[in-house]
Amino acid sequence: MRTINIKEAREQFKALVDAVIAGEDIIICRRNKPVAKLIRLTEKPVFPDRSEFRSRIKQAKTPSSVVVRALREERE
């Protein structure tokens, strides 16, 4: 990950964009403190397939409406 100050970023903006497109992340600093990060945008977020996770979840034997009703009755 490359670090660059704001003045250099202005002067080399096209080269920085090209580097980001190539996969490099760039930190922009002001007075040696990071203030921004240039990263490549993805076309769409990639979410993992959740079918395996869902298959491991056990189905409740009692509907949630019955459980909630019982809990409310206990409070009264």
Look up residue 53 and give its DSSP letter: H
Compute the mean pLDDT over every residue in the chain, rounded to the nearest whole number. 91
CATH class of 1-41: alpha beta
Q: Give the pLDDT band (50/70/90) at residue 47.
A: confident
CA-CA distances (angstroms) from residue 42 to 10, 21, 45? 24, 10, 7
Q: Give the pLDDT band (50/70/90) at residue 71.
A: very high
The structure's pTM equals 0.55
CA angle 54, 60, 66 (to 5 degrees): 140
* Total Cβ atoms within 10 A of residue 29: 15
Side chain identity, residue 74: E
Side chain identity, residue 59: Q
Query: What's the pLDDT at 5?
Result: 96
Residues forming a β-bridge with 38: 26
